[in-house]
Amino acid sequence: MPIGDRTMSALNCRFSPKNIADTAVTEADRFAPGQGLQLDWVIDDSRFVRKFVHDYFEQLPPAMKEAIRATLYAALTETPPTPVLFQWEARYDWVLQVRQTPNTKYTPGMINLIIGGRYAPDAHPMADEMVKTRQAGAGASKRAVTKAAKRGSRPAKRRPSRKS
């Protein structure tokens, strides 16, 4: 998904070890508790891509959005701020993996956020069929119950056996 790669690249640039201190100063308030998840600000040059980023992250399950927001807020408000590496992978269901390596004497730590989900325009592969089945199933069962109630119960028809 090239547009997703571009998005992750822009996020990685803003949250990289080189830029994390500046991002912490200018953007930490965006991720404060109660603010919601806003990541479309990282795309400066394209209204289309900015809308894509907004729409994609808006469709995430609420718990995932809150977990990402809280992780980014923690990363930006730590002293020193912790860099974040964003990754996306194609998945059937939504998945969020958060990994953090601690600071050591020789190297700074880092947070890895791996977001798994469908390609942006992809709906659930069976979404239309599930809706049709639910609608047809509800209609069919109502019709069957109504029809049976009108005619009353009666024994099943049997054909005579040819063996005797």
pLDDT (tens place) for every residue of the chain, 164 residues total: 556 677 788 888 999 999 999 999 999 999 999 988 888 787 777 777 778 778 888 888 899 999 999 999 999 999 899 999 999 888 888 999 999 999 888 888 999 999 988 776 655 565 566 567 666 665 555 555 555 555 555 666 777 777 76
Q: What share of the chain is helix, strand, coil (3-state, %, to 5)?
A: 50, 15, 35
Buried-state track 58-80, b at ≥16 Cβ within 10 A, e below 16: eebeeebbebbbebbbebbeeee
**What pLDDT, on a 0 to 100 scale, did the predictor assign at position 153?**
56
Tokens of 141: 């069962």
Q: Which residues pair with 115 in a beta bridge?
A: 88, 96
pTM: 0.70
Residue 13 in contact with residue 61, Cβ under 8 Å? no
**What pLDDT, on a 0 to 100 scale, did the predictor assign at position 163?**
75
Q: Which residues contact 51 (CB under 8 A, 6 or more apart)?
A: 40
- Give the integer Cα–Cα distance in Å for 45 and 76: 24
End-to-end CA distance of the chain: 70
